[in-house]
Structures are given as C-alpha cells and as structure tokens.
Amino acid sequence: MVKRYVIGGWLAFLLFIVLNHCREEATIRRNLKVTTGVIKNVTSGYRGGIQIEYCFIYHRKEYQGAGKILISSAFVENFKSKRIPVAFDSLQPENNDYLLLPYDFNKYDLLFPDTLKWVVDLENRSL
C-alpha cells in the first residue's frame, strides 16, 4: 500500500515538472526576445553530456541560466566562453533558454543560424 503512495507521489512530481517546463516555454514564446549570452561555466554532466551555465544582459541587469546538452563531455573545451543566442520572456527574463541546436530554435519558430553549425558537427561526432 505504501509503495502505491510512493509511486503516485513520484508520478505527481514528474507531472508537475513537465507541466511547469511547458508553461515556461509558452511564456517565452508569448513574450519572446532573443539576445546574445556568454557561456560562463561548462562541466561534464552527470551521466554524460555537458552542463552549461550562461548569462545575458537585459535592461542593464544580468540574468543567468543553465542547461544540459547531450554532446560528449570530451568537447567541453569547445564551449568555454562562447557567445550563444538566448531566448527569454521579456516580462520575466529569469525565464530563459539557450539556443544551440536546431531543436532549440524550432521550439520558438526561429531559424537556425549557420554560425552554430559547429555545435551540430560536435553532436554528430558524439554519436
């Protein structure tokens, strides 16, 4: 009986996370602004991939964000101090998302720039 409650609790928690993420993406889409951010820290992610921390400035205030990209951690050095596009909610800039792969741009109906093809090349080399 207790096991059911534990499983139900985990499922409710996961549902909350998914719905919250979808809501954040929807508000970014609704009040979309795109600017250039700078990668401040890059580390090998837990269970593979690369953990990226970035910042950007909007209305003279610095905002931060973080995310994971599923590219081999052997390529960590390639991302250090790079400038990257960042999509954010103009009313709540702390709600933001980095744009590195075609999938990221497609989420916001934006065109993928040629200047980021190097990231796709690294992703392909990671497979």
Task: Please name the residue that has the structure tokens 């921390």.
Answer: 53
Interval 40-58: pLDDT, tens: 999 997 777 999 999 999 9
Interval 19-36: pLDDT, tens: 555 567 778 999 999 999
In this model, does residue 9 exceed pLDDT 70? no
Interval 54-111: pLDDT, tens: 999 999 999 999 999 999 999 999 999 999 999 999 999 999 999 999 999 999 999 9
Integer Rg of the chain from CA: 17
> What is the pLDDT at residue 20?
59
> What is the pLDDT at residue 127?
74
Q: What are phi and psi of 64, to 5 degrees?
A: -125, 160
Measure Cα distances from 118 to 3, 90, 99, 107 in Å: 47, 28, 13, 20
In this model, does residue 7 exceed pLDDT 90? no
In this model, does residue 1 exceed pLDDT 70? no
What ranges do the domains of the chain cover? Answer: 2-126
Whether residue 95 contacts residue 105, with contact meaning beta carbons closer than 8 Å, is answered with no
Write out the H or E segment, with its range, that includes residue 19. Answer: helix 2-30
Kindly report the CATH class assigned to 2-126: mainly beta
> What is the pLDDT at residue 14?
61
> What is the pLDDT at residue 27?
84
> What is the pLDDT at residue 10?
64
Q: Is 50 left (phi over 0), alpha (psi -120 to 50) or beta?
A: beta
